[in-house]
Amino acid sequence: MKVSMQISFNLDIINKCVCHKCPVQNQSECVRTQMAGLKTSFREIPLNPHKIPKAYCLNGKSVCKGIDRSKPCICGSCEIYAKHQLSEAEPGGFYCIEGKSA
């Protein structure tokens, strides 16, 4: 079953997102720098998803390097993942590496 992604990239989604807690990306200096600049990024209208290290299931691959696929992916523990049945779509996780859900 292919699931259509009809989710808006907005602050509510960003706040529910668990990407910032993920072991896959927490060793990346680039991601840490982006997390430190979130308040500034949130002031930009429209939001620039490439400056926000979250919601890769909507926006696609991270622009950051240092993302480690050997670490456990936590996408399955995310409220967004469950609510929008992302387990039914491709890819089924590692959105920061594989790209957004289709």
Q: One digit per residue, pLDDT tens: the chain, 102 residues?
A: 444 456 788 889 989 999 989 999 988 999 999 989 988 888 888 888 888 889 999 888 999 988 999 999 999 999 999 998 998 888 989 999 999 887
CA-CA distance, 64 to 92, in Å (whole number)? 20
Contact indicator for 59, 49 with CB cutoff of 8 Å: yes
Model pTM above 0.75: yes
Q: Comparing C-alpha atoms, which of 19, 49, 52 is closest to residue 34?
A: 52
Query: Which amino acid belongs to residue 35?
Result: M
